[in-house]
Protein backbone atom coordinates (compact mmCIF):
# COMPACT_ATOMS: atom_id res chain seq x y z
CA UNK A 1 0.00 0.00 0.00
CA UNK A 2 1.28 3.42 -0.75
CA UNK A 3 1.65 5.99 2.01
CA UNK A 4 -0.84 8.45 0.50
CA UNK A 5 -3.65 5.87 0.52
CA UNK A 6 -2.86 4.98 4.14
CA UNK A 7 -3.03 8.69 5.07
CA UNK A 8 -6.41 9.04 3.33
CA UNK A 9 -7.85 6.01 5.10
CA UNK A 10 -6.48 6.70 8.57
CA UNK A 11 -8.91 9.46 9.57
CA UNK A 12 -12.10 7.67 8.38
CA UNK A 13 -11.02 4.47 10.12
CA UNK A 14 -10.32 6.33 13.37
CA UNK A 15 -13.72 8.08 13.15
CA UNK A 16 -15.39 4.71 12.47
CA UNK A 17 -13.71 3.08 15.47
CA UNK A 18 -14.62 6.00 17.75
CA UNK A 19 -18.21 5.84 16.45
CA UNK A 20 -18.41 2.11 17.11
CA UNK A 21 -17.11 2.58 20.66
CA UNK A 22 -19.65 5.35 21.35
CA UNK A 23 -22.51 3.32 19.84
CA UNK A 24 -21.49 0.28 21.87
CA UNK A 25 -21.36 2.32 25.06
CA UNK A 26 -24.78 3.88 24.54
CA UNK A 27 -26.30 0.55 23.47
CA UNK A 28 -24.97 -1.03 26.66
CA UNK A 29 -26.40 1.81 28.77
CA UNK A 30 -29.75 1.50 26.98
CA UNK A 31 -29.88 -2.27 27.54
CA UNK A 32 -29.01 -1.89 31.22
CA UNK A 33 -31.70 0.75 31.71
CA UNK A 34 -34.23 -1.38 29.87
CA UNK A 35 -33.51 -4.44 31.95
CA UNK A 36 -34.03 -2.43 35.11
CA UNK A 37 -37.61 -1.69 34.10
CA UNK A 38 -39.98 -4.29 35.40
CA UNK A 39 -42.49 -5.90 33.03
CA UNK A 40 -45.29 -4.65 35.26
CA UNK A 41 -44.06 -1.05 34.96
CA UNK A 42 -43.98 -1.37 31.18
CA UNK A 43 -47.51 -2.79 31.12
CA UNK A 44 -48.74 0.04 33.36
CA UNK A 45 -47.09 2.62 31.11
CA UNK A 46 -48.55 1.02 27.96
CA UNK A 47 -52.03 0.93 29.51
CA UNK A 48 -51.86 4.59 30.51
CA UNK A 49 -50.79 5.68 27.02
CA UNK A 50 -53.43 3.47 25.34
CA UNK A 51 -56.17 4.92 27.55
CA UNK A 52 -55.00 8.46 26.76
CA UNK A 53 -55.01 7.75 23.01
CA UNK A 54 -58.49 6.22 23.21
CA UNK A 55 -59.83 9.50 24.63
CA UNK A 56 -58.60 11.48 21.62
CA UNK A 57 -59.22 8.83 18.95
CA UNK A 58 -60.60 10.11 15.63
CA UNK A 59 -60.55 8.89 12.03
CA UNK A 60 -58.25 11.79 11.11
CA UNK A 61 -55.82 10.91 13.90
CA UNK A 62 -55.89 7.26 12.80
CA UNK A 63 -54.98 8.32 9.24
CA UNK A 64 -52.20 10.56 10.54
CA UNK A 65 -50.76 7.73 12.65
CA UNK A 66 -50.93 5.31 9.68
CA UNK A 67 -49.05 7.89 7.59
CA UNK A 68 -46.40 8.35 10.30
CA UNK A 69 -46.06 4.55 10.59
CA UNK A 70 -45.50 4.30 6.82
CA UNK A 71 -42.57 6.75 7.11
CA UNK A 72 -40.73 3.96 8.96
CA UNK A 73 -41.67 1.19 6.55
CA UNK A 74 -39.08 -0.78 4.60
CA UNK A 75 -40.32 0.41 1.20
CA UNK A 76 -40.24 4.10 2.20
CA UNK A 77 -36.85 3.95 3.92
CA UNK A 78 -35.34 1.99 1.02
CA UNK A 79 -36.69 4.49 -1.52
CA UNK A 80 -35.43 7.48 0.48
CA UNK A 81 -32.04 5.84 1.01
CA UNK A 82 -31.63 5.24 -2.71
CA UNK A 83 -32.61 8.85 -3.42
CA UNK A 84 -30.07 10.16 -0.87
CA UNK A 85 -27.32 7.99 -2.37
CA UNK A 86 -28.19 9.18 -5.88
CA UNK A 87 -28.16 12.81 -4.73
CA UNK A 88 -24.81 12.34 -3.02
CA UNK A 89 -23.44 10.70 -6.15
CA UNK A 90 -24.77 12.96 -8.90
CA UNK A 91 -24.98 16.32 -7.12
CA UNK A 92 -22.08 16.28 -4.71
CA UNK A 93 -19.86 13.47 -6.06
CA UNK A 94 -19.38 12.68 -2.37
CA UNK A 95 -18.06 9.11 -2.19
CA UNK A 96 -17.21 9.36 1.53
CA UNK A 97 -20.68 10.74 2.20
CA UNK A 98 -22.19 7.71 0.49
CA UNK A 99 -19.98 5.35 2.50
CA UNK A 100 -20.86 7.15 5.75
CA UNK A 101 -24.57 7.06 4.88
CA UNK A 102 -24.50 3.33 4.10
CA UNK A 103 -22.54 2.59 7.30
CA UNK A 104 -25.03 4.67 9.32
CA UNK A 105 -28.06 2.95 7.80
CA UNK A 106 -26.53 -0.51 8.22
CA UNK A 107 -25.40 0.26 11.76
CA UNK A 108 -28.77 1.65 12.78
CA UNK A 109 -30.56 -1.36 11.30
CA UNK A 110 -28.20 -3.76 13.04
CA UNK A 111 -28.60 -2.09 16.43
CA UNK A 112 -32.39 -2.06 16.00
CA UNK A 113 -32.44 -5.80 15.19
CA UNK A 114 -30.17 -6.62 18.12
CA UNK A 115 -32.28 -4.62 20.59
CA UNK A 116 -35.57 -6.02 19.23
CA UNK A 117 -34.19 -9.54 19.54
CA UNK A 118 -32.84 -8.84 23.02
CA UNK A 119 -36.08 -7.40 24.41
CA UNK A 120 -38.46 -9.62 22.40
CA UNK A 121 -41.37 -7.38 23.34
CA UNK A 122 -44.46 -7.18 21.17
CA UNK A 123 -45.96 -3.88 20.18
CA UNK A 124 -48.96 -2.95 22.33
CA UNK A 125 -52.23 -2.99 20.42
CA UNK A 126 -54.57 -0.03 20.53
CA UNK A 127 -56.28 -0.28 17.18
CA UNK A 128 -56.96 -3.40 15.09
CA UNK A 129 -56.11 -1.44 11.91
Q: What is the pLDDT of residue 38?
A: 61
CA atoms in the 13 A half-sphere facing the CB of 76: 7
Q: What is the pLDDT of residue 88?
A: 92
Judge contact between 87 and 101, C-beta under 8 A.
no
pLDDT, mean of each 10-residue run, the chain (129 residues): 76 88 89 71 82 88 91 93 94 89 91 83 66
Amino acid sequence: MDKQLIKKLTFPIIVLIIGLVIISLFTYIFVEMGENLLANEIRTFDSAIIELLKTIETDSLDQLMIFITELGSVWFLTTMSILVILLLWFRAKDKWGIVAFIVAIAGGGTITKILKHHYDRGRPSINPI
